[in-house]
Structure 1
């Protein structure tokens, strides 16, 4: 059983974006297109949200104590596709993902 799991082919799709609604929409469209090709899917798996905080001085010359903080959150999800066929890969290539979503595919 363990040998069968190791020898399986797997495609990992990693989605990153700043907007959670775009992320959920793109995950749903990927899952819908893959489920039509009878490949097994695990996911979407939510990864921890990464936060970047930037500290900016409000005034360039005086009042160093007066600062503003800005934050950018990067939301990430993983989708694993086991035993993909050529139809599955073709469906992924033809898929229309909205702008603002970064997609990484690892085979």
Structure 2
């Protein structure tokens, strides 16, 4: 069990746009599958919502408010026993600017 955990690379992707996340995941999976490495994912994590409440007018009508929501979409991809070719292919990969990537070894 320890050997499997040590030989794993976890890629965590976060973004505000769901379509951008799906395209990035498919691009990563396509690149990894060329190097014939075992992958698990993409695993969808629960969508996080941040809700902001703003007063419509600064002085009067305290009951009149607007709510704004930001959704954060997250997916995880696990790569088991990556070779040097796999890591090089991941480093050269072009990913859109709206996607945040965390890589844990």
Q: TM bucket by the smaller chain?
A: over 0.9
| Aligned-pair CA distance for 1:6 | 2.4
Q: Distance between the aligned counterparts of 1:61 and 1:104, measured in 2?
A: 44
Q: Distance between the aligned counterparts of 1:77 and 1:19, measured in 2?
A: 12
Q: Which aligned pairs between 1:1-107 and structure 2 lie closer than 5 A?
A: 5-8=1-4, 9-107=7-105
Q: For 1:65, what is the secondary structure of its paired residue?
A: coil
Post-superposition, which runs of at least 4 consecutive aligned residues in structure 1 deviate over 4 A?
Answer: none
Please, what TM-score do these two structures have when normalized by structure 2?
Answer: 0.96
Q: Distance between the aligned counterparts of 2:2 and 2:93, measured in 1?
A: 28
| Aligned residue-pair number | 103
Please, what TM-score do these two structures have when normalized by structure 1?
Answer: 0.95
Q: For 2:90, what is the secondary structure of its paired residue?
A: helix
| Aligned-pair CA distance for 1:62 | 0.7
